[in-house]
Amino acid sequence: MDPDLALLLNGVVSGLLLGGLYAAAAAGLSVSFGMLDVVNIAHPAFMVLGALLVAVLWGATGLDPLLLSLLLTPAFWALGALIYVAYHHFFERRGDEAIQGLAFFFGIMFIIEVGLVMTLGPEQHFADAAYANTTWRIGEIDLPLRMLVPAAVALAAIGALALFLRRSFTGRAIAAVAQDREALRLLAIDPVRIKRLAFGISVAMAALAGGALVVVQPVDAWSGHIFIGRVFAIVIMGGLASLGGCVLAALAFGVVENVTATFYGPSWSPAVAFGCLLLVLAIRPQGLFGRAA
Amino acid sequence: MSGTALPALPLPAPRRLGHAGFWLASAVAALALILALRGFGSEYAYFAATFVLQYVVLATAWNILGGYAGYVNFGAAAFFAAGAYTTVAIGKALGLGLLPCIGFAALVGGALGLGTGILTLRLRGAYFAIATLCLSVVLQTIVVNWSYVGGSRGAYVLRPREVPFGFDSYSGFLCAVVVVLAAAAVAIARTIEKSRLGLGLAALRDDEAAAEAAGVPTLRLKLIATTISGAMMAVAGAPLPYLGSYVEPNSAFGLAYAVNAIAMPLIGGTASWAGPLIGAVLLASLQQAATVTISSAANLMIVGVVLVVFVCAAPHGIIGLFRGRR
């Protein structure tokens, strides 16, 4: 095969795998930001918290990191529910969630990160899965399991979440609260309880994404920063409340970043990806896959 | 250090003080502050005062868009760094000193603000915030890849040997420049607040559709506010290379600037010029003290905790607390 073509194919495939990781990180945000209208800027910080907890637990038990992150999800769900209760009590109820709420989550992000630095130290932490050093090869294309397994687990989790949102009563209530909370109240469903549940789910997704992240790369307390822009970009490009759009946007984002990195060097990839987002915002603010309001 | 100089700042101005009067009062306050610091004469006092006052400029500038118009800008660090790198680039290209560089920084920051505004201000609330966050990433990538200003290695900026205007040291001169900038920033903010522009911004903050319907040219006002705010944030960053003699992208674009620029006005109170001033002086002094006595990780922790406590307990800042009591 032509080496340039092989390089391009490899770039696209590993971009898709990277996109799977981004999808995991963005799916939770798509619930909190897209559906609940809670601008949880600390979402990547929760992901990093999950990743570092997984790394610590992995050091203690030696269990599979993705399994550990699954075990962490109930605790993260409770944490998320707790934070939503505080958020609702202080901001949403009073109706000044816009600036104050943003600042609240900004502060939470800082507290998580600095807390992690102070307890675990500023160095990078990692967790090695059993399959981390295996690479499948299909023709000229490399499929490192280190990327493939987290991406597959992430997509499976997102699929399960999408199924839950579409099929179950509670899931449909979550989708409904995004559209009209007063109508929900008329059906004798407490919107606050539903939003609390959904916000817990979004933070639990962050724990899962953290497990995927720590399999892919070593993580330090500040790793979340580079994800803030990315995950919001993906959720917006995906059209906010749509999980499917979010996955597609994540894959596209991963491919654009990775192909740029392959051909022009990794230092340019963020600018290209975020340039795309600025264009999307300027031309089509409802997102690539969203419907006009 | 900086704490002892605080009484020299203007007391809450009488209600009916005109624009000229307020500018005069800030000029007097600036002069008094410069003389007080001169009396101290220690290098550390100059450094700490410069550190605190650059945040006064940054927070005041952020508040013009974020507080008066209600548009949250997460990219304060981008504008700040744009100012710092303008100083590096212009200083290297034309060999100019700090003062002309500040002028150039204002132009660059203003242009950047206007460009961001045109691109994003049709978007509401959170979208605008995220677009500014992206702007910060794009700009940082460009600077990292721009080897003329040092790329990711950073750039050294040597302080000139001769000290201008009879100051006792270059730090003294730098500090005086930043004092003047801070006084000017506060005066500009107050002038805007009390002008038609400020009233229009307040109207669109409270209800943009209603303001538009009442004949407020919202888009134009927002563009003006973004331009002024961007220019002032860049001005705040312009002296940075001289303060540490070294800048590198990671610290110049650091999230600490972005979070401080938001936290300070929110803690002080966003609706008035005094809010960012109080917040910046309080929080920056606290951070400087924590950096010296505990550790630099702890100082960020303090910002985070203070921010969360304040937005929960005192949603209208310190100013709001006092207004509520009255």
Query: Can you tell me the mean pLDDT for B205-226?
Result: 87
Query: Percent of chain B beyond pLDDT 90?
Result: 18
Its domain, for residue A34, covers 3-283
pTM: 0.80
What number of C-beta contacts closer than 8 Å exist between A and B?
A: 124
| Residues of chain B positioned with their CB less than 8 A from the CB of A39 | 126, 129
**Structural domain boundaries in chain B:** 2-325
Interface of A with B (CB under 8 A): 33, 39, 86, 90-91, 94, 96, 98-104, 106-111, 113-115, 117-118, 122, 225, 228-229, 232-233, 236, 267-268, 270-271, 274-275, 277-278, 281-282, 285
pLDDT in tens, A81-98: 999 999 888 887 776 666
| Interface with chain B: mutation pick from A281, A283, A286, highest number of B CBs within 10 Å | A281
Of B127, B300, B311, the CB nearest to A236: B127
Reply yes or no on whether the pLDDT at B242 is more than 70. yes
Reply yes or no on whether the pLDDT at B8 is more than 70. no
Instruction: Please give the Cα distance from A94 to A37 (Å, whole number).
Output: 15
Reply yes or no on whether the pLDDT at B116 is more than 90. no
A111 and B308 within 8 Å at the Cβ level: the answer is: yes
Reply yes or no on whether the pLDDT at A291 is more than 50. yes
Q: What is the mean pLDDT of chain A?
A: 84
Residue A85 CB: number of other CB atoms within 10 A? 13
Reply yes or no on whether the pLDDT at B7 is more than 50. no
Interface of B with A (CB under 8 A): 66, 70, 72, 119-120, 122-123, 125-127, 129-131, 133-138, 140-142, 144-145, 152, 255, 259, 262-263, 266, 270, 297-298, 300-301, 303-305, 307-308, 311-312, 315
- In 3D, which of B48, B51, B96 has the Cα closest to residue B236? B51
> CA of A266, closest CA in chain B: separation in Å?
10
A33 and B312 within 8 Å at the Cβ level: the answer is: no
Burial of B62 (0-12, 13-18, 19+ CB in 10 A): buried
In-domain check, residue A292: no
Query: Can you tell me the mean pLDDT for B168-191?
Result: 89
Q: Which residue has the higher pLDDT, A174 or B134?
A: A174
In-domain check, residue A63: yes
In-domain check, residue A293: no
pLDDT in tens, A128-159: 877 777 788 877 778 888 888 889 999 999 99
CATH code assigned at A27: 1.10.3470
Task: Give B103's contacts (C-beta < 8 A, 6+ positions apart).
Answer: none
Instruction: Please give the Cα distance from A110 to A119 (Å, whole number).
Output: 14
In-domain check, residue A256: yes
Query: Can you tell me the mean pLDDT for A242-260?
Result: 88
Query: Percent of chain B beyond pLDDT 70?
Result: 91
B138 and A270 within 8 Å at the Cβ level: the answer is: yes
Per-residue pLDDT at B1: 41
In-domain check, residue A218: yes
pLDDT-based confidence at residue B124 (cuts at 50, 70, 90): low
In-domain check, residue A112: yes
Reply yes or no on whether the pLDDT at A22 is more than 70. yes
DSSP reduced 3-state for B92:
helix
DSSP reduced 3-state for A135:
strand
Per-residue pLDDT at A203: 94
| Residues of chain A positioned with their CB less than 8 A from the CB of B145 | 267-268, 271
In-domain check, residue A291: no
| Residues of chain B positioned with their CB less than 8 A from the CB of A233 | 130, 134
State the maximum Cα–Cα separation within chain A, in Å, rounded to a whole number.
63
In-domain check, residue A289: no
Would you say domain B2-325 falls under CATH 1.10.490? no
The interface predicted TM-score of the complex, written ipTM, equals 0.73
| Residues of chain B positioned with their CB less than 8 A from the CB of A275 | 138
| Interface with chain B: mutation pick from A36, A99, A104, highest number of B CBs within 10 Å | A99
Query: Can you tell me the mean pLDDT for A203-226?
Result: 88
Question: What radius of gyration do chain A's Cα atoms show?
Answer: 19
Query: Percent of chain A beyond pLDDT 90?
Result: 24
Reply yes or no on whether the pLDDT at A233 is more than 90. no
Instruction: Please give the Cα distance from B108 to B130 (Å, whole number).
Output: 21
Per-residue pLDDT at B15: 55
B129 and A109 within 8 Å at the Cβ level: the answer is: no
A100 and B263 within 8 Å at the Cβ level: the answer is: no
- Structural domains counted in chain A: 1
> CA of A91, closest CA in chain B: separation in Å?
8
Q: Which residue has the higher pLDDT, A77 or B292?
A: A77
Per-residue pLDDT at B2: 43
Question: Cα–Cα distances in Å, from A9 out to A6, A41, B94, B267?
Answer: 5, 34, 46, 51
Reply yes or no on whether the pLDDT at B252 is more than 60. yes
Q: Which residue has the higher pLDDT, B47 or B301?
A: B47
The token pair that represents B37 in the structure block: 């610091």
Per-residue pLDDT at A287: 64
Chain B residue closest in CA terms to A34: B126
Reply yes or no on whether the pLDDT at B5 is more than 50. no
pLDDT in tens, A173-206: 888 887 777 777 788 788 888 889 999 999 999 9
Per-residue pLDDT at B312: 83
